[in-house]
Amino acid sequence: MAEKTMKIVIIGGEAAGMSAAAKAVRVNRDAEVVVFEASEIISFGACGLPYYVGDEFQDHTYMAEFTPAQFAERGVQVLTSHRVTKVDVANKQLEVRHGDALISTHYDRLMIATGASEVMPPVDGLEKAGVFSLRRMDDGLRLKQAIADVEHVTVIGSGFIGLEVVEALVHQGKKVRLVERAERLIPDAFDAEISTHLQTELEDAGVELLLAQSLQAVLGETAVSGIRTDQGEYATDLVVICTGVKPNTTFLQSTGIEMLGNGAIVVDLQGRTSLPDVWAAGDCASIWHSVLGQNAYIPLATGANKLGRLVGENIALVDQHQALTFQGSLGTSCVKVLGLEAGRTGVSEQEAEGAGLNYKTVVIKDKCHTNYCAGQSDIHLKLIYDADSHVVLGAQMLGRKGAVHRIDALAVAIAMGMTTQQLGMMDFAYAPPFARTWDVMNVAGNVAK
Ligand SMILES: Cc1cc2nc3c(=O)[nH]c(=O)nc-3n(C[C@H](O)[C@H](O)[C@H](O)COP(=O)(O)OP(=O)(O)OC[C@H]3O[C@@H](n4cnc5c(N)ncnc54)[C@H](O)[C@@H]3O)c2cc1C
């Protein structure tokens, strides 16, 4: 076997890390590519967990797409149950824990793809039996098993994961309570005009919403019997905490690597960190927000896969002048809540205001398609656009049908710098079962003043 010319080490074997590994071996056949993964599985898609819990599918192995053996066939050495505990940048050495053994290994080029972990609120009682979070495969297996034996579940936090968990529990016939600290649901992603419909949908399904309330303690002897918020005590059998994530980067603190305030590794548009020969991508890293024009923290599988692949290319290139440059993220994302679907892209009004942008908004309600075709329903669309140039900066859409895939068209519009006038005349497809002659996106563009 020919001797390898460089050793690429990747820390973390899920979306970002395995995308990078797969690309790196294709780009540079002479490179040795090694992945260290702390857990026992790789290529795990956590996005499936709420649907597994909600019984959309039964075989949990669907969520881990590839095995280490499959990657070995492609020329990638994957070492599971290997946790990197230290990076010595000056000597390009890693300290890796495997069981009781502590291994030292060299790298020429390093990628950090260690993802994120759930943030647990600073309250008493989280150690009680019946308190769950949902991040790893094992969390999903345990939660699904536990809910089988209970009647009432309380979910803390109404972000994407919290809402998906609520939906799963409703599907499983549970009585569900959702506690949210803010005054409305999913406040970081959607403005009030959109999130209010999600609230109605959940209330109509019998979900008890405690808005503007903070969890203060989980109650019970050894197992959960209730929760206490800043406004009262409530009985429950099980608690699922969905209060956000934080980057897994504490093991890097002594390296002096540049981080955002929340610990996300700052990367440039080529995925390079502030350290020599070290790249990063995914939930452990920042990502360039192309509307805000700055690095942001957007922990999504979409960005992790794209940046992971880009880093895989760049880290393996012999000639770094050929390095690929990322076009930026729009934070495009979506969620399904019972009969409703909602999508967003670019900036919300809340973000535009926070960034001091000179913006205007328009909110309209229209129909998903022509009235004589079955299933016509409302679509709500909010556009955020530059007050002077009318360039579209953000969009949010919600409805029972056709809202989420339309948001992708608006992501393209934003990425291309389109104005509301151009959107108003954009040639979107029409046939009665799919749209109206003037699609809801045309209408919004035309009424934006
Ligand atoms: C329930 C749920 C639903 C989601 N739904 C969606 C969705 O619908 N759409 C979407 O876009 N995103 C979704 N996401 C987010 C998405 O799963 C993440 O953005 C994505 O997994 C990030 O991939 P990653 O490779 O950066 O990190 P991770 O998937 O977190 O993987 C990082 C890996 O690194 C390993 N690791 C950490 N530290 C070390 C170390 N020191 N040494 C070795 N290994 C280490 C970890 O064990 C882990 O396996 C969801 C997440 C969850 C939890």
Q: Tell me the DSSP string of 131-185.
A: EEE-SSHHHHHHHHHHHTT-SEEEEE--SHHHHHHHHHHHHTT-EEEEEESSSSS
Which whole number is the average pLDDT over 146-162? Answer: 97
Mean of all residue pLDDT scores within the chain: 97
Per-residue pLDDT, 65: 86
Q: How far apart are CA 286 and CA 268, in angstroms?
A: 9
Q: Give start-end residues of each CATH 3.50.50.60 domain in the chain.
A: 6-117+246-322, 120-243
User: And the tokens for 383?
Assistant: 């556009």
Residue 136, classified by CB atoms within 10 Å of its CB into exposed (0-12), middle (13-18) or buried (19+), is: middle
CA–CA separation, 361 and 386 (whole Å): 9
Q: Quick one: average pLDDT of 157-181?
A: 98
For residue 118 and ligand 1, the question of a CB distance below 6 A is answered with no
**Phi and psi based region of residue 282 (left: phi greater than 0; alpha: psi -120 to 50; beta: remaining):** left
Ligand 1: centre distance to CA 222 (Å) = 30
Alpha-carbon Rg for the chain in angstroms: 23
Query: Distance between CA atoms of 317 and 310, rounded to whole angstroms?
Result: 11
pLDDT of residue 1: 58
Active site residue 242: no
Quote the ligand 1 centre to 249 CA distance (angstroms). Answer: 13
Predicted local distance difference test score (pLDDT) of residue 198 = 98
Distance CA 280, CA 306 (A): 12
Domain spanning 120-243: CATH superfamily: FAD/NAD(P)-binding domain (3.50.50.60)
- Spacing, Cα 303 to ligand 1 middle (Å): 11
Judging by beta carbons within 10 Å of its beta carbon (0-12, 13-18, 19+), is residue 48 exposed, middle or buried? middle
Q: Does domain 341-447 have CATH number 2.60.40.10?
A: no
pLDDT band at 3 (very low <50, low <70, confident <90, very high): confident
Q: Which two tokens stand for residue 213?
A: 């309330």
**Model confidence over 92-121: pLDDT tens digits?**
999 999 999 999 999 999 999 999 999 999
**Phi, psi (rounded to 5 degrees) for 352:** -60, -40
pTM over 0.75: yes
The answer to whether the CB of 403 is under 6 A from ligand 1 is: no
29-60 per-position pLDDT tens digit: 999 999 999 999 999 999 999 999 999 999 99
Name the pLDDT band for 18 (thresholds 50, 70, 90): very high
pLDDT tens track for 352-363: 999 999 999 999
- Looking at residue 174, its pLDDT comes to 98
Architecture field, domain 6-117+246-322:
3-Layer(bba) Sandwich (3.50)
Question: Which secondary-structure segment (H or E) carries 37?
Answer: strand 31-37
CATH 3.30.390.30 residue ranges for the chain: 341-447
Atom of ligand 1 nearest to the CA of 15: 25
pLDDT the model gives residue 403: 97
Instruction: Work out the average pLDDT over 263-288.
Output: 98
SS3 for 87?
Answer: strand
Helix (H, G, I), strand (E, B) or coil at 425: coil
Confidence band for 264, pLDDT divided at 50, 70 and 90: very high
Contact of 397 with 380, CB cutoff 8 Å:
yes
Contact 344, 190 (CB under 8 A): yes
Q: Please state the φ and ψ torsions of residue 35, each to the nearest 5 degrees.
A: -115, 130
